[in-house]
Amino acid sequence: MDDRTADHTDIKDLQALTKIEKEVNWRNFLLGLIGTIHYDLEEIDSARTILEESISSYKAYLETFDEVLSVYCQSCYTLGVILFDDGRYGEAIPYLLRCLPYMHEVYDETYIGHIYTFLSLCFSWTNQAGYSVVFAEAAAYIRRCDCESLEQLMVSFSDVGEVDKATDVFHLLQRHCQDYEHYDRVLDFAEQNLGESGIVN
In order of their start, the domains of the chain are: 8-107 (1.25.40)
- Mean per-residue pLDDT pooled into runs of 10, the chain (201 residues): 76 96 97 97 97 97 96 96 98 97 86 94 97 97 94 97 96 95 96 78 50
d(CA 90, CA 122): 7
d(CA 10, CA 192): 51
d(CA 105, CA 119): 19
Closest by alpha carbon to 90, among 105, 98, 80, 99? 80
Identify the DSSP state of 192. I
Are 105 and 69 contacting, i.e. CB atoms less than 8 angstroms apart?
yes
DSSP 165-190: HHHHHHHHHHHH-TT-TTHHHHHHHI
Closest by alpha carbon to 60, among 75, 47, 45? 75
Are 139 and 120 contacting, i.e. CB atoms less than 8 angstroms apart?
yes
Model pLDDT, residue 103: 87
d(CA 155, CA 141): 16
Q: Considering the entire predicted model, what is its pTM?
A: 0.91
Are 126 and 93 contacting, i.e. CB atoms less than 8 angstroms apart?
yes
Distance of CA 194 to the CA centre of its chain: 28
Q: What is the sign, positive or negative, of the torsion defined by CA atoms of 27, 28, 33, 35?
A: positive
